[in-house]
Copies of this chain bind each other. A is one copy, B any other.
Amino acid sequence: MNTRSSATGASPSDQDSDQGGGARTPSRAPRRRGRQSSALASERRVDLVRLAADLFAQKGFQATTVREIADEAGILSGSLYHHFDSKESIVDEVLSSYLDELLGDYRAALEQGGEPRELLGRLISAAYRSLKPHRAAITVLQNDWNYLRQFSRFGYLEEAEQEIQRIWMDVIRDGQAKGAFRPDIDPKLTYRMIRDTIWVAVRWYRPDGPLGTDDLAEHFMTVLFDGISFGERSFES
Contact = CB atoms under 8 A, between A and B. Distances in A.
Copies of this chain per assembly: 2
A146 B220 CA distance: 25
Interface string A171-186: 0000000011111111
Contacts of A190: 219, 223, 228
Contacts of A220: 189, 193
A98 to B, nearest CB: 18
Nearest to A176: B230
A133 interface: no
A123 B206 CA distance: 27
Residue from A139, A183, A216 with most neighbouring chain B CB atoms (10 Å): A216
Contacts of A196: 196-197, 200-201, 203
Interface of A: 20-23, 57-60, 62-63, 65, 67-68, 71, 117, 139, 142-147, 150, 179-186, 189-190, 192-193, 196-197, 199-201, 203-204, 216, 219-220, 222-231, 233-235
